[in-house]
Amino acid sequence: MSREVRHARYPFFSAAREAVRAADLSLFGLVDRDAPAVERARERVERALTAGTTAPEEPDRWDPTDDLLSYPIARILVSLLDDGTAVKKYAAAEAATAAERFETDFASDDDGLRSVERVGVTREEVLEEFGIDAEPELESERRRASRGRGWYRVALETYLTYSDPDWGDDWRLVNREVAAGRVRIEQAELDRLVEEAVRRRVAEGLPFDVRERNPDLADALEPTLASVRQLLTAGHAPTSGVGVVEPSLFPPCVKALLERSRGGERLSPESRFALTAFLVAIGLDGETIASVAGVDEEAATTQVEFLRDREGVQYPSPSCATMQAYGDCVNRDDRCERITHPLSYYKTAIEANDAGAAGPVETAEASDER
């Protein structure tokens, strides 16, 4: 059982992929009979796109086999979306989820908490899995208990392969200590290289042409794909550009979500995404969103960072059609009948409010002149 759990936790490991191949299961058969792995795959992709994680919302809901089999199906769904942003978000979410699990596993290993049925992995196993050549500094290892940090010497090739110049000046080779073909880095930095290695492995080969390889499978996945596609409203989400934050003019759906969130209700992942994406689009940062919505600031800031890529481009907030699909399109008014996106509602409301405010002022001024 421990092996199955480990495969489910790290489905991109070579052993896990081999286990799927050895099972010789028909993915079409799984989809055709609507197996639990299909629903988990849908959740996997939707959580990746909306929350930056592929961890299940309810951890105990899925057995290890369903969780493992959901990974290849999720890759098929992402490929069928044929959207570069979705691929990037999905791979980053799988890597971020793995990084959190690695951290837990490594901490357990350091504490000597080894069970007979080990489901976690050691740092050494992960480094070997990705061919990352890193050696701990022995002196630093002896001081780790007092300093809480460790140092490693990573092969120059490994460092250049997995580090990204966009991570900041600290990662530039000229700012590193290099000796005998190895780069000195902290343990936390090594973990970041590992996360990048996971991201690249997940992204490798995505998207692929599912319809050309298996048109029947693509057709069978259409109902599941339709749900995921609703998250991809790129090209339909108007840019905000309003420069105004006036909650009283928010669309009814956003007002309702805010009220539920401030009341302490735990929103569904889709609803949380819809609310946060709207607030990000009108210019709010994580701290402000946390205050307005009554949520944890760290969680809000993390999602804000996830919703914007490194160029600052925002992942689009859901359209009215998507809000309807979520069940969050409520308290519709007359303006709702004339728009197709919550941001359009808000911009129209701002413009109408400004026009209404300008009228009386102009009339008063004219009266004074007379």
The answer to whether the beta carbons of residues 62 and 23 sit under 8 Å apart is no
Q: What pLDDT, in 10s, does the model give residues 92-143?
A: 989 999 999 999 999 876 554 454 346 789 999 999 999 999 999 876 444 5
Residue 237's pLDDT is 46
Number of C-alpha atoms within 13 angstroms, CB side, residue 124?
4
In the prediction, which pLDDT does 244 show? Answer: 65
Structure tokens at 163: 């580090």
What's the pLDDT score for residue 317?
Answer: 74
How wide is the angle at C-alpha 30 spanned by C-alphas 25 and 32, nearest 5°? 135
Longest dimension (CA), the chain: 92
| Mean residue pLDDT across the chain | 83
Q: Look at 51 and 274; give whichever has higher pLDDT.
A: 274
Distant-in-sequence, close-in-space partners of 180: CB < 8 Å, separation ≥ 6: none
Distance between CA 70 and CA 25 in Å, rounded? Answer: 12
- The helix (run of H) or strand (run of E) holding residue 134 is strand 134-136
Return the higher-pLDDT residue of 316 and 179.
179
In one letter, which amino acid is 52?
G
β-partners of residue 184 are 153
Find the length of the chain.
370
User: Helix, strand or coil for residue 111?
Assistant: coil
Q: Are 43 and 57 in contact (CB under 8 A)?
A: yes
Dihedral sign (CA 238, 243, 244, 247): positive
Secondary structure of 247-308 as H, E, C letters: HHHCCHHHHHHHHHHHCCCCCCHHHHHHHHHHHHHCCCCHHHHHHHHCCCHHHHHHHHHHHE
Q: What digits encode the pLDDT tens for the residues 40-61?
A: 999 999 888 877 889 998 878 9
**Secondary structure (3-state) at 49:** helix
The answer on pLDDT for 1 being more than 70 is no
How far is residue 81 from each of residues 75, 84, 306, measured CA to CA in Å? Answer: 10, 9, 19
User: Which is higher by pLDDT, 199 or 355?
Assistant: 199
User: Average of pLDDT values for 273-292?
Assistant: 85
* Amino acid 367: pLDDT: 35
Distance CA 120, CA 246 (A): 48
Give residue for tokens 């928010």: 250
Q: What is the pLDDT of residue 366?
A: 35
**143 against 7, higher pLDDT:** 7
The tens digit of pLDDT for each residue in 297-338 reads: 888 887 777 776 544 445 667 778 778 877 899 999 999 988
| Model pTM above 0.75 | no
In the structure encoding, which two tokens stand for residue 191, read together? 């973990």
More confident of the two residues 219 and 165 = 219
- Give pLDDT tens digits for 211-261: 999 999 999 999 999 878 876 654 344 444 455 678 889 999 999 999 999
pLDDT value for 25: 87
Residue pair 345/317 in contact (Cβ under 8 Å)? The answer is no
The three-class DSSP label of residue 51 is helix
Tokens representing residue 365 in the block: 């001024």
Q: Is 227 exposed, middle or buried (0-12, 13-18, 19+ CB in 10 A)?
A: middle
pLDDT of residue 218: 94
Q: What is the pLDDT of residue 37?
A: 96
| CA–CA distance, 291 with 272 (Å, rounded to integer) | 15
The sheet carrying 178-179 orders its strands as 134-136, 151-155, 182-186, 178-179
One-character DSSP codes across 190-255: HHHHHHHHHHHHHHTT-S--HHHH-HHHHHHTHHHHHHHHTT--TTTS---------GGGS-HHHH
How many C-beta atoms surround the C-beta of residue 360 within 10 A?
Answer: 9
156 with 163: CB under 8 angstroms? no
